Amino acid sequence: MNHSELKKQAFKRPGVKAAYEEMEPEFSLLRELLRARQNAGLSQAEIAEKMGTKAPAVTRLESSLSSGKHSPSIATLKKYAKALGCHLEIKLIADNQ
């Protein structure tokens, strides 16, 4: 079973789709972080070195976004972005748009 099939099957259960949609901002940020790291051609260990931390901390950062168990601080996200040669941009978007 691939990811799409698993997701489709899970969405049939009550509350799963709503919980998944509630996590969309975290999933979106995780996709953005991973895409930026891939585009930079850097490993988690290389990002960690540039951030002044250890690779497991970067692993926890990236996995925390998909688990919803911990929200990284803005300061941590800024360090991650800087290590990639990027900057962090946060926006508020009105729900009615």
What long-range pairs does 44-49 form, CB within 8 A, spacing at least 24?
47/80, 47/83, 47/84
Count CA within 13 A, CB hemisphere, residue 71.
5
Q: Which residues of the chain have pLDDT under 70?
A: 68, 97
Distances (CA, A) of 52 to 25, 26, 80: 27, 24, 10
Nearest Cα to 45, choosing from 29, 28, 62?
62
What pLDDT does residue 82 have? 95
What pLDDT does residue 97 have? 62
Report, in angstroms and rounded to the nearest whole number, the Rg of the chain calculated over CA atoms. Answer: 15
Q: What is the pTM of this model?
A: 0.76
Instruction: Spell out the domains of the chain, with CATH numbers in brackets.
Output: 16-83 (1.10.260.40)
